[in-house]
Structure 1
Amino acid sequence: MKSFKVPQGKKIYFSSDHHLGAPTPELSFPREKKFVAWLDEVKGDAAAIFLLGDLFDFWFEYKTVVPKGFTRTLGKLAEITDSGIPIYYFVGNHDLWMNGYFEEELNIPVYHQPQVFTINDKVCLIGHGDGLGPGDLGYKRMKKVFTNPVSKWLYNWLHPDFGVKLAQYLSVKNKMISGDEDVKFLGEENEWLVQYCRRKLEQQHYDYFIFGHRHLPLEISLNENSTYVNLGDWITYFTYGVFQDHKLSLEKYDAQSTKP
């Protein structure tokens, strides 16, 4: 368990599901510039920044190659960590295949499973959210295949020009592979991440459950002392989480993106 004591006047920021590169690099470029502008703003009072997965619509690290593009995003992340502000990354279902690049080049720790962080006096369970809770069996089976070391080794032998294009096509076209659910709110009782959180509360207390993946900005009270927060996305909502003092809230970034 990692602990933060947030200094007076500082904040911790949470963001998720940017899907940079989708549906095409050209169409995603204004969203990337908007996200970089947000990073540039929040670095002024950030004690830490959490990125909860699917920053890219596809990411695979070959031994000496990473996907082309995203220069502005990667450069801004490097600038922020170089300034001493920590960034924590949780892989999503579109960027499962991280293998050292963020740690080595950007000094950003990468987590493949939900983690517990104590922020001031609040216990938070943080993760992307894919594959948790009941149901979604097709995706869970696919995830086991994709994360299998043999599968990754075989995929690594594909030439990057072919491997990346194939994965980008599948990511956009195949919902089973992407793991994306219908983004309509299903109601508290049918939201599988809400069910997951309530089951976790039977074992241990958490003040906040902070996830992405559902692409919906949600704040749902689980009981009088525990809240489930979904961060939304940077495709439709441009929402993010802010932890200040002892409270987490959702905010919307309204700055106008610059046309390419």
Structure 2
Amino acid sequence: MQIPAGKKIYFASDNHLGAPNREQSFPREQKFVQWLDEVKKDAAAIFLLGDLFDFWFEYKTVVPKGFTRTLGKLAEITDSDIPIYYFVGNHDLWMNGYFEEELNIPVYHEPKEFTFNDTKFFIGHGDGLGPGDKGYKRMKKVFTNPVAKWFFRWLHPDWGVKLAQYLSVKNKLISGDEDIKFLGEENEWLVQYSKKKLAEEHRDYFVFGHRHLPMTIDLGGDSKYINLGDWIGYYTYGVFDGAKMELKKYQ
């Protein structure tokens, strides 16, 4: 993709809309929609790197209630021929056609490489990548198992969504009871994963979400790892102007 003069690529991740409840989530949703309204003015494309919702499951004829302003704004943007790309996260990995059919947004379940103005990006949500976290990796296999999804789909949405929301709010990361700290390069699994991928093939930027901690780390060889942070406490996003990638905070 060649970025036209004066245009930019925008990146955001980890909104967790709906958590821990509608009252606390709604102001964050309003702020995110305001951001979308501003960046669409010079956006060549927008990348959303997962966990837009704290829970999302597509039944055959039903999707979770709410998020009307966000979904409407995304539709408005794609209707104006600005492409949006979505990478599922660990909280909204049960996407199955709704974004593609209703919003014209392609959805990716694995990291993917993109090239903008000869600059190579490796992009994904980031869950389950790199060494360690074996418990989550086993759990993800269950969550993505077709049989498990079939059984969950047979739960009435009122029960299924309530159960998922309860389990999600128990996650201290989302409820705000856990301080997110930098673990050091050797313990940041996504940094280790990026270094391994870099040894296989050069990429200029590795861009992920999931960690909820905004950071930029030099990987050597003119390559950088960037984590986008979140829209719960940081309100950070990435922007590529065709020459360099930066993290910025939305006020």
For each residue in 1:130-156, what CA deviation from the matched residue of structure 2 results, as whole angstroms up to 9, or x when unmatched? 000000011000000000000001100
Q: Answer yes or no: is the 8 Å Cα contact 1:121–1:246 preserved in 2.
A: no
Provide the TM-score with structure 1 as the length reference. 0.93
Of 72, 78, 81, which residue of structure 1 is paired with 2:75? 78
**In the aligned structure 1, how far is the partner of 2:29 from the partner of 2:47?**
17
User: Following the alignment from structure 2 to structure 1, what is the Cα–Cα distance between the partners of residues 154 and 172?
Assistant: 25
1:252 correspondence with 2:249? yes
2:186 to 178, 185, 189: 189
Give 1:257's aligned residue: none
CA distance in 2, matches of 1:6, 1:223: 25
Partner of 1:20: 17
- 1:242 paired residue among 219, 239, 243: 239
Which residue of 2 is the match for residue 126 of structure 1?
Answer: 123
Amino acid in structure 2 at the alignment position of 1:98: M
* Equivalent residue letter for 2:149: K
Question: TM (normalized to structure 2)?
Answer: 0.97
Question: In structure 2, the residue corresponding to 1:202 is in which secondary structure?
Answer: helix
Query: In the TM superposition, what is the alpha-carbon distance from 1:174 to its structure 2 partner?
Result: 4.6
1:135 maps to 132
Spell out, residue by residue over 1:160-204, the C-alpha distance to the aligned partner (whole angstroms, 9 max, x if none).
00000001111121579xxxx962110112111100011111111
The answer to whether the 8 A contact 1:89-1:111 is kept is: yes
- Per the alignment, in what secondary structure is the counterpart of residue 186 of structure 2? helix
Q: How far apart are the structure 1 equivalents of 2:54 and 2:86?
A: 15
Number of corresponding residues: 248
The structure 1 segments of at least 4 consecutive aligned residues displaced by more than 6 Å after TM superposition are none
Secondary structure, in 3 states, of the residue corresponding to 2:200? coil
Match of 1:112 among 109, 113, 122: 109
Closer, same or farther: CA 182–137 of 1 in aligned 2, 3 Å: farther
Deviation at 1:77, TM superposition (A): 0.2
Change (3 A) 1:239 1:45: same
Structure 1 residues 71 and 215: CA distance shift in structure 2, 3 A: same
Map 1:21-60 → 2, pairs under 5 A: 21-60=18-57
CA shift at 1:224, angstroms? 3.4
Alignment of 1:164 with 2:161, yes or no, is yes
**1:224 corresponds to which of 215, 221, 225:** 221
Q: 1:199 aligns with which of 196, 200, 216?
A: 196
Q: Which residue does the alignment assign to 1:233?
A: 230
RMSD: 1.4
Paired with 1:142 and 1:183, the residues of 2 have a C-alpha distance of 22
Give the whole-Å Cα distance in 2 for the aligned partners of 1:238 and 1:118. 26
User: Which residue is 2:92 aligned to?
Assistant: 95
Identity of aligned residues (%): 78
Q: Distance in 2 between matches of 1:105 and 1:248?
A: 30
Opposite residue 140 of structure 2, the aligned amino acid is K
Amino acid of the structure 1 residue aligned with 2:57: F
- Deviation of 1:112 after TM superposition, in Å, equals 0.1
The counterpart of 1:67, out of the listed 59, 64, 73, is 64
Any idea what SS the aligned residue of 1:41 has? helix
Shift of 1:37: 0.2
Aligned mates of 1:36, 1:171 — CA distance in 2: 23
